Amino acid sequence: MQIDFDGLQQRIISIPGVPERQYSDLQSGVDGIVYYLEASRGGQGGPGGGGNELWRFRICDRKATSFVTGVAAYEVSADGRKLVYRAAAPPSGAGQAPTPGATPPAPSLFLVDADRTPPQAGQGRLNVRLRMYLEPREEFKQIFDEGWRNQRDYLYVPNMHGADWPRMKEMYGQLLPYVMHRADLIICST
């Protein structure tokens, strides 16, 4: 990416009607449309918070309109015609931990038309349940291999301070069958 600083001040447009607030996640839609999140004024906004307001700004008439409220995250499709968003989780009791072994609530995902009128509340809800099957030993091996490779490729000195890096992987890799917890893996990797 290259930024052309010459004449930058002349290419900046002011956005009338959009007050100074905490905005994030600016994304483009179809030609002339921009989406952005405004953090809720109750301090609950942000990822995983009580919800942000998703705004749609039309450059042609320089007008921002509220598109959806209570949004935790969103993405616009490559062609700008569809938008998927995750509704913010309802606030839980302060300090309450989730019940161990309980099934977590399904995410509230919605798929709506981005290039049409704002959706009605609850419109476009996707019926999904996400599951992840995890083999800890396989995960530990992958983390170990990626950490080793990362150090090999990006350590700040090319000679690895004289260490025989393939031998280090072999030597510490022998401990992987005995790793039973993530903390054990960290000890193995340092």
Query: Checking DSSP bridges between strand 23-28 and strand 33-38, what pairing results, if any?
Result: antiparallel
Q: What is the pLDDT of residue 8?
A: 84
Higher pLDDT, 169 or 94: 169
Position 76 confidence tier, pLDDT thresholds 50, 70, 90: very high
Question: Average pLDDT of 39-43?
Answer: 71
Percent of the chain with pLDDT over 70: 84
Element (H or E) spanning 75, and its range? strand 63-76
Query: Can you give the length of the chain in residues?
Result: 190
